Amino acid sequence: MGHYPTGVVVVTGRTPDDELHALVVGTFSSVSLDPPLVSFMPMKTSKTFTKLQECSSLCINIIGGEQENVVLTIARRWENKFDGIDWHPSPTGNPVLVDAVAWIETRIWNTVDAGDHWIVLCEVIDLAVTNSVTPLIFFQGGYGSFACSSLMARMDHEILPAITSAHSARAAVEQLANDIGCEASIFTTVSEEEIATVLSVTAPGVDREADFAQRVPMVPPIGDTYFFDQSERQQQQWVDRLRGVDDDVKDIYRQRLSFLREHGYVYSLLPSEEGRSAYDTVRDATARYSGGRLTPAQEREIRASLVNTAVDYRVQELTDDGFYDLGSIVVPVRDRNGVYALTLRLAQLPEGASCAEVRDWVEKARAVVKTLEGCDS
C-alpha cells in the first residue's frame, strides 16, 4: 500500500475549554456532494482524536508541498502543537494553517468502526482555497509533492520570455565565456521548486556536458540567487529543504543569502583533493532529475545528493595574495517585472585564479547582467 499515494491534512479543533488540538492525517477523502461529506481515518488509539470529538466543529487543512516541516512539528509534539506555527481562526474559531492549500470547516456527521481505525464522516459547513499550490503527499514512506504534465507544459510556456531574453544577449554571454575560458549559463526560475537552463555556452576546450543538466530542483545550494530577495519566511522554507543536516550547515546557506544581498554575487570553491570532480554528484543528480518523472523516494535521493556534494559553499574572504580554485560564480538577474528570476552562472573556471582575477570575472559578469536586464526591459 506504500505504492499508493495519499494526501496529507491537518485536522484542527478548539474544545469547549478553549484548548487547541491538531492531528496529522494521511487518510483524507472527499465522500459525497449531496449531502456534502468528507472523511478522514484516525487510529483508535489516538488521544488527540478523542479530544477532537469534544469540539463542536473541525477544520481540515489541506497541506501544501512546502509545509512538510509544519506537519512534522505537529506530529512530533504531544502538547503546544501550535507554538511557532502561523495560523488564523476559521469562521468557527478553529486553527487554519497559514500557507495551507485550502481549509474545510466541518462537523462530525458519523463515526464508523473500521478495525484499528475510525472512519470519521464530516459534514462540510464552509471551505476555501487560499494557496493554489501543489499539495503535500505521503508516498513510499516519505513526504513529497508532484506536478502534473499539464502543469509542466504551462511552466515551459511561461519561461519563453526568459529564453527570448537570454538568447538576445547570447553574443555578450559567449564573449564572457571566451574571455574567461569557462562555461556561462543562464537559468530561469520555473517555480519556487525548480530552475531551468535557458542558455549555456562554453569557451573552446570546455566540456559542455560536465555541469548542470537542463532542469534542477531548488534545494540548497541551488536557488540562493532567487531566495536572497524573498521574505524571511520564504528564505527559511528554502533552507529547511535541507534534510538531516545540523544548524551549522544551514547557517552556510543563510550566510550565502546575506552575502548576495550585500555584494550582488556569490561563489563556491572546489576542494583541493577532488577538484572539479566534486561536481560529479551534482551533475549525475541533475541528469536524473531532468530525465523524467520521479517517485518521491527518487526525488529525495536526488535532493540529498545535491546537498552532500564536496563543493565548498562557505562564504570565505579572498585575500589579495591568495590563489583560488572556484567552482562557480552566480549573479542574480532581474526579469522584466523586477524580480530576480534569472541567474548568470559561471562554471568550469580556470584554476589557481588570483583575487584580482576573480574580481575581474565578477565585473565582467555584472556587465553581462546589465545587458540581460536591458534585453528583458
Residue 294 reports pLDDT greater than 70: no
pLDDT number for residue 137: 87
CB-side neighbour CA atoms (13 Å) of 169:
30
CB-side neighbour CA atoms (13 Å) of 16:
3
pLDDT number for residue 59: 97
Are 339 and 300 spatial neighbours (Cβ–Cβ below 8 Å)? no
Listed range (7-11, 152-156, 359-363) with the worst mean pLDDT: 152-156
CA distance 28 to 320: 60
- The pTM for the full model equals 0.62
Residue 151 reports pLDDT greater than 70: no
- Name the residue with higher pLDDT: 76 or 324: 324
- Name the residue with higher pLDDT: 298 or 13: 13
CA distance 75 to 67: 12
Mean pLDDT of the residues in the chain: 87
Mean pLDDT (whole number) for 265-270: 94
- β-pairing, 36-40 vs 117-129, is antiparallel
- β-pairing, 36-40 vs 29-33, is antiparallel
Residue 76 DSSP code: H
Q: State which H helix or E strand residue 143 sits in.
A: strand 142-144
Work out the pLDDT band at 149, boundaries 50, 70, 90.
Answer: very low
The DSSP bridge partners found for residue 40 are 120
- Is the C-alpha dihedral spanning 299, 75, 87, 126 positive or negative? positive
Question: What is the greatest pairwise CA distance in the chain?
Answer: 76
Residue 108 DSSP code: E
CA distance 211 to 279: 7
pLDDT number for residue 141: 72
Residue 104 reports pLDDT greater than 60: yes
- Name the residue with higher pLDDT: 282 or 188: 188
The DSSP bridge partners found for residue 174 are none
CA 102 to chain centre: 20
Let me know the angle formed at the C-alpha of 116 by 295 and 58, rounded to the nearest 5 degrees: 80
- Name the residue with higher pLDDT: 173 or 288: 173
Tens of pLDDT, residue by residue over 300-339, are 777 777 777 788 999 988 899 999 999 999 999 998 888 8
Q: How many Cβ atoms from other residues are within 10 Å of residue 5's Cβ?
A: 15
Q: What's the chain's length in residues?
A: 377
Residue 122 phi/psi, 5-degree rounding, is -125, 135
For the chain, domains (ranges, CATH) are: 6-146 (2.30.110.10), 153-278+310-373 (3.30.450.40)
pLDDT number for residue 159: 64
Q: What is the DSSP string of 11-34?
A: EEEE-TT--EEEEEES--EEEEET
Q: State which H helix or E strand residue 236 sits in.
A: helix 232-239
Work out the pLDDT band at 138, boundaries 50, 70, 90.
Answer: confident
Are 22 and 58 spatial neighbours (Cβ–Cβ below 8 Å)? no
pLDDT number for residue 287: 76
